Amino acid sequence: MPAYRPQEIEKKWQAHWQQHHTFRADNNSDKPKYYVLDMFPYPSGAGLHVGHPLGYIASDIVSRYQRLQGRNVLHPMGFDSFGLPAEQYAIQTGQHPAVTTEKNIETYIRQLQQLGFSYDWEREVRTSDPSYYKWTQWIFLKLFNSWYNLDTNQAEPISALVAKFAESGSAGIRAAGEDEERHDFSAGQWQMMSEKQKLAAILPYRLAYQQDTFVNWCAALGTVLSNDEVKDGLSERGGYPVERRLMPQWNLRITAYADRLLKGLDTLDWPDAVKEMQRNWIGKSIGAEVTFPVQGHDSLGVKVYTTRVDTIYGATFLVLAPEHELVDTITTPEQRTAVDEYIAATKRRSERDRMADVKTVSGVFTGAYAANPVDGTPVPIWLADYVLAGYGTGAVMAVPSGDQRDYLFAKHFDLPIPAISDAQQDLDKQADPTKEGRYINSGIVNGLGYKEATATLITFLEEKGLGKGKVNFRLRDAIFGRQRYWGEPIPIYYKDGTAYGVAEADLPLVLPEIDEYKPTETGEPPLGRAKDWKYKGQYEFELSTMPGWAGSSWYYLRYMDPHNADRFVGEDVEKYWGQVDLYMGGAEHATGHLLYSRFWYLFLKDLGLVTANEPFQKLINQGMILGRSNFVYRLNTTWSTSKTDGSPITYSSPSGIKHPTIFVTKSLYEALSEALDEGSEAANSRVEKGIRQIEAALDSKHPGYESKVASYSLGLADSFTPLHVDVSYTDNDVLDIAAFKNWREEYADAEFILEENGSYVCGTEVEKMSKSKYNVVNPDVLIDKYGADALRLYEMFLGPLEQYKPWNTNGISGVATFLKKFWRLFHPEDGALAVTDEAASPAELKTLHRVIQKVAQDIEKFSFNTSVSTFMIAVNELTALGTHKRAILEPLVILLSPFAPHLAEELWQELGHEDSISFAAYPEFREEYLVEANVTYPVAINGKVREQRQFAATATAAEIEAAILESDFLTRFAEGKTPKKVVVVPGRMVNVVV
């Protein structure tokens, strides 16, 4: 097979790797380990497009390179296979989600394998496999049976808490969570409690607990949605209305780990942007918690958290979240209708929408007043949707002179904006949050500076019992329940209304079969349809399932030991692999998966089940490959039809005449859509001519009728409508008109006004690759045409890994040509193998060792695009040198193997090697081969270069000076002047001063 046929070669080596388990990782190796991980995909029905493999290709290059460096590499793949899309499809079709998921996974595996990734497929995991989610449920039970001890700063078993209760009651126990949710009791009172009372007392301490929580409820989908799944008050999937609703939910107490999650970021080699997103999401702040007593309600107070207690005298109103627990109690009868209407409107907006909308000012007065705790001044209590119940206390001390959002609110509702500092400026235009100057209009802190005022006010509030200094976090506990079917069952059952954990020996709690995958007629989650599904035959199970992020929060650990039936990961195996050395995935997971994974890992660390400090040491966010969309340009027309004999017609489509849609080619669209250039008149004429021809053709098809384009306009912005066209129907932006007309029924009779050469040229735009934009490129098509190695190289060649890059299928042919040239170094003119054992020349060795050095540096820096360029330059140089020598080509094949593994394996075998090239060693770099024998020096007189001269690279400055003075250089250029000195900059230049 002398000619390079990538499709044959690639199928051969993919089968070889699979048969021989080439990439199997060893849990008991003496080699140093290297763990490379891709964020595993959700297997959608659409399969992969060319944007998806970008990170996979990069991580595979690193994996193959690390093997060449003698490391034991773990590079696994699996599937995040629970999720809402499969469930929605099941609701529509009645097909079990497991069937759909299995089919989609088969497609993904086929596509991933044909790209030549060096995955250890024996370690594949699927989050929907009961043998996997058994351990997800097991970790949940560990959370359920743990509490967070603030004295030891770690999670501990509930049994340790119970022992403290039995010994000394609740006194002195410092646990993560809200103290207000717990009640005090003595050891004697504990002993007197019933089992149910004890469990109720323990519940507010658990790391997995139930609580009434405000959630995004989508009635049409019958489930709670995360903020990420809601946009503009509608579900991202389906566009159904979503409202905020108070519901009993399972939560995980991630807030217990807030400070550790924050500090741990400093130890990670992650992109700064991702770390900053997590820091902001965790949101540590130092301030004070203050209570404003509600007038007319002796026992009620509005609790606020503020980082600017120094501004409390400037608090002219309070703002509560519409969901705040006090709203119903304090709202006056006069304001009840307005308040109820505002709350109803707020329910239709997600938290994310409310946080993001900084332009709209809305609110409603409750009719109630609180007393400012420092001076008793009445403070009106308002509601506004920019305050969220789930953040802080759900109430804001509004100081309009110091906060712009409060300022806009006060201006909108004509509320007072008093100055509180002599340094504040322009309060008639905007808020001024300065901490400079001295306080005015501020009672006991008048004349003080920021630090003195803050300390004075906190002391005053603590003495009065109306406040205290406090560290706060923006991070909220994670809502864990979903009212869906296709997810991990939560291993909880209920006895007399109290939650109990399923015994670990009874795991996994497997999803039961049900008749439909939608909520019951009484509003219960889909699991409410399960018949006779009870624990021990008598206790009702929890009907919610876990969220999608549950299984993905620990999957990297299961890859280490996926077939262990007795432990979620073997103890020695976990110690060997430790943490992930390189994690590749999208930045969009910064405040979701990446944060939850760190939380679960820290929890498992507290239990002594893992050994590192963080799960992922290095993270790289690959950039997005943007699609190159194509557009056709529809001329916006109105048709009319009449009978040629003049008799009237009263119906719009006589004798089945179908008026065609007219599309205008790109050059005419550009000339006419704005009517700004000089060519628009000629273009107008061409379009007019094209319209007449289309009319004539239609008339010839329908004798007795005459059809005319009754109205259209050229030279106006709305003359044309650009429409996306499937890029598979274009080649170098030229439309395949026949394929286009067969694409959709409404285009079957389309007519086209073409370029002068008779083609229809489409417009282009670079935008996100998406099915809705018809710019998705299927890798299967490109692999069939060019081969997987060409696709791998091209994706790397597009640009720096972490940047966004536009896709252009036209460019892949250049990479395919490079691979053919590489092949011909071994097979000149596509003939027989022609590798010789001749000694390599200095020029050939220089080219080789430049590649050895550059590729290693590039891979270590994850700069893969420059490696591809280096290969191309090297092949051109070696082709010009007529190189066919083993001493050069054999190490060159090893260097290329991480990038184009199929081609490299084939050539490696042809060179006489029996083992896979994966077991080869990375070539040794020798710097002496890059040292130049001679150096060319610019030689100047008084700084002006006169000529170039070569000297030996080893020549000293004295030797160079002597050679210049002994030559005819001065005779030719010094005009008889005597040199004062000769300056030699080694390796750079010579300057003669005269």
Place of tokens 């200094």: 469
Q: List the beta bridge partners of residue 625.
A: 805
Beta strands in 880-952, from DSSP E residues, in sequence order: 934-941, 944-952
Which tokens is 643 given?
Answer: 């009978």
Q: What's at 629, amino acid-wise?
A: S
CB 514 within 8 A of CB 489: no
The encoded tokens of residue 123 equal 């370690």
CA 504 → CA 141, 225, 282, 568, distances in Å? 8, 29, 33, 12
Which is it for strands 705-711 and 638-643: parallel, antiparallel or unpaired? antiparallel
Measured at the alpha carbon of residue 849, what is the angle toward residues 847 and 855, in degrees to the nearest 5?
Answer: 100
How many Å apart are CA 216 and CA 958, to the nearest integer? 81
3-state class (DSSP) for residue 667: helix
Structure tokens at 473: 């976090």
- Which residues, in sequence order, are CB contacts of 193 under 8 Å at separation 6+? 185, 201
CA–CA separation, 800 vs 709, rounded Å? 51
What are the b/e assignments for 33-61, b being 16+ CB within 10 Å? bbbbbbbbbbbbeebbbbbbbbbbbbbbb
Assess contact for 242 and 234: CB atoms under 8 A.
Answer: yes
Query: Would strands 539-541 and 534-535 be described as parallel, antiparallel, or unpaired?
Result: antiparallel
DSSP 547-577: -THHHHTSHHHHTTSTT-SSSSS-HHHHHHH
The reply to whether 771 sits in an annotated binding site is: yes
Choose among 462, 413, 453: nearest CA to 434: 453
DSSP 8-state code for residue 52: T
Nearest to 167 by CA among 196, 188, 146: 188
Closest CA to 54 of 43, 72, 68, 41: 41
- Strands 498-501 vs 146-149: parallel, antiparallel or unpaired: unpaired
Return the structure tokens found at 302.
């509005």
Q: What is the DSSP string of 701-737?
A: HSTTEEEEEEE--SSSTTSEEEEEE-GGGEETTEE-H
Q: What one-character DSSP code corresponds to residue 72?
A: E
Closest to 645 (Cα-Cα) out of 703, 692, 701? 703
Residue 408, token pair as written in the block: 């806009």
Query: Around Cβ 453, how many Cβ atoms within 10 Å?
Result: 25
- Please state the three-class secondary structure of 585-626 as a single string: CCHHHCCCHHHHHHHHHHHHHHCCCCCCCCCECEEECCCCEE
Structure tokens at 894: 């090893």
Q: Confirm if 132 and 520 have CB atoms less than 8 A apart.
A: no
Phi-psi region of 862 (alpha: psi -120 to 50; beta: other; left: phi over 0): left
Distance between start and end Cα atoms, the chain: 68
Expressed in percent and rounded to 5, the helix, strand and coil fractions of the chain are 40, 20, 40
**Bridge partners, 952 (sequence order):** 934
Residue with tokens 């290709």: 57
- Partners of 765 in beta bridges: 629
Q: Could you tell me the two tokens for 666?
A: 């790109």
Q: What is the dihedral of CA 750, 756, 762, 763, to 10 degrees?
A: -130
CA distance 332 to 150: 42
Which residue positions form the known binding site for ATP? 771
Which residue positions form the known binding site? 771
